[in-house]
Structure formats: C-alpha cells, structure tokens
Amino acid sequence: MAKGQFLGEFEQVVLLAVARLEPTGYGATVRQEVEERTGRPVSVGALYATLDRLAAKGYVAVRPGPAEPERGGRPKRFLALKPAGVDALDASRHMLDRMWDGVELRRSASG
C-alpha cells in the first residue's frame, strides 16, 4: 500500500460537499457546490474520478435515483457519506488542526 491512509486535497473538498448535500446530492450538484463555495473551477472529469475513488474506498454510498419528470436527462446517482467517510473527514480535520495549532502567519505585505 502506497498511501491510502489520508484524504487527498480535492477528495476532502468533494467529500465535504457530499456531506453537506446528502442525501439528495448527486454529481452535478456536488460539482456546483464546490465551485460556488470555493470559487474553484471543477471539471466534470475531475469530479467523477474523485467520486469514484471515494466510493471505491468505501467513503461514499451511491444510490441510483428514479427518472424525473423534468425535461429529459439521465437518472441521477444520489450520494451519501458512509461511516468510514465520516471518520476520514474527522481524521483529516484533526490532523490539520494539530498542525495549525499555534501557528501564526505573518502577512506578506502590510500587517
């Protein structure tokens, strides 16, 4: 095993969006959520690749939704956090908290 121990940077962001949007969040809304909250552009490929990895690791559950009466469109795949996903987020956060604890950043210009 090379790593597998920790959430990657983007994995963490995506997992948090899933947490926020569950149980009705799905690929497209998760993507939108991340873009809105972070101002960061997210390509479709990046999003789904990450979601797949997260699912493979047992962090998110995927539940196929029914067709909806809107105006065409493929059925959604609803996403939810699994217990292991909760633990992973928790662990990542605590690790960062410990690293940040007591660190004071001098502002680059004009303090």
Partner DNA sequence: TAGCAAACTCTACAAGATAGAGTTATAGTC
Partner DNA sequence: GACTATAACTCTATCTTGTAGAGTTTGCTA
Catalog residues that contact its own copies under the rule CB under 8 A: 5-10, 12-13, 16-17, 19-20, 34, 37-38, 40, 81, 83-84, 86-87, 89-90, 92-93, 95-96, 98-100, 102-103, 105-109
Among its own copies, DNA, none, the one that 28 touches (CB under a kind-dependent 5 to 8 A) is: DNA
Characterize 61-82 residue by residue with b for buried, 16 or more Cβ atoms within 10 angstroms of its Cβ, and e for exposed.
beeeeeeeeeeeeeebebbbbb
The size of the chain, in residues, is: 111
Which amino acid is present at 29? T
Using CB under 7 A, list all residues that contact DNA: 1-6, 8-11, 26-28, 41-46, 48-50, 53, 67-77
